[in-house]
A = this chain, B = another copy of it.
């Protein structure tokens, strides 16, 4: 190929620089920097010239360089454990939108299992990206341990959990939600109520169980050991098949909607009517719950709300606000057709 321009090579294709922009606009690079950072004292005419140069060159600020010099990554880390689930997914989406609006980007990492090593390595991975803040949507109990161990120095907040650590937690009040669900069943006359819970190492599963037990206790009803499930519809189904062999209860409070779905499936197979023979309550109010057979009575959580608020809180803390008071979001009981008065037997 002809290559007969040995003097001023037209430069290899390199992304345009702040200095390139300055040259085109006929100003110093610092002035360009000021434009980029919305400095107040810029002559309108200069501003226009710089803007034009930026457009002409298709210039984009180099985030890495910016991060290096400011030592601010503008990244918020998210440690999640089950991003496929409706709740976490909804929260994360809200977080992403809120973060982006505030000029932050997200770095999400999934932990496959809830064991300590896994949590720690996920956290470690995020810290290595020097995130400025941390949202944890992995409601395993060991998370707090790991955060302490790794000496996480950035503001952090855990979602969908509950517990002692109110300073760093934001959650829908699971205990109250569980009590509302249980109360609803009691009000309908049920006295023998089962609970199919989530996995024991999930803080929220634990909280729902606590709410359930306390409400039963307050009503002076017999409490029985909850079944420990894994959140899946399949588990609800198989647990149901097993439980219905005895059928020494008239109502079930399930730890989430999926397990309730599986349980109702088992009821159908056993020839039992919901709510005629057995009342079922779920938790979460996933969009599908209204169309289950029958439509499911459940406890609605505003996942998007806590997502948004977590970012709000973290950004506040990054700006030095010390007052991080916040109240748990109240859940809401949604009564549909899967619950009814206790049948006379």
A interface residue numbers (CB < 8 A to B) = 15, 60-65, 67-68, 71, 73, 83-84, 86, 89-90, 92-93, 96-97, 100, 105-110, 112, 125, 127-130, 232-234, 236-237, 258, 261-262, 264-265, 268, 287-288, 290-293, 295
Contact = CB atoms under 8 A, between A and B. Distances in A.
Contacts of A64: 63-65, 67-68, 73, 130
B97 A93 contact: no
Nearest to A90: B84
Contact of A291 (B67, B112, B236): B236
A296 to B, nearest CB: 11
Copies of this chain, tallied across the complex: 2
Contact of A128 (B60, B106, B268): B60
Query: In the complex, which of the residues A128, A261, A288 has the most CB atoms of chain B within 10 Å of its own CB atom?
Result: A288
Given A64-B73, A265-B293, A293-B293, 19 more contacts: A60-B128, A63-B64, A63-B128, A64-B64, A64-B65, A67-B67, A83-B83, A83-B89, A83-B93, A84-B89, A93-B110, A96-B110, A100-B125, A106-B108, A261-B292, A262-B291, A264-B293, A265-B295, A268-B293
A17 to B, nearest CB: 12
A198 to B, nearest CB: 15
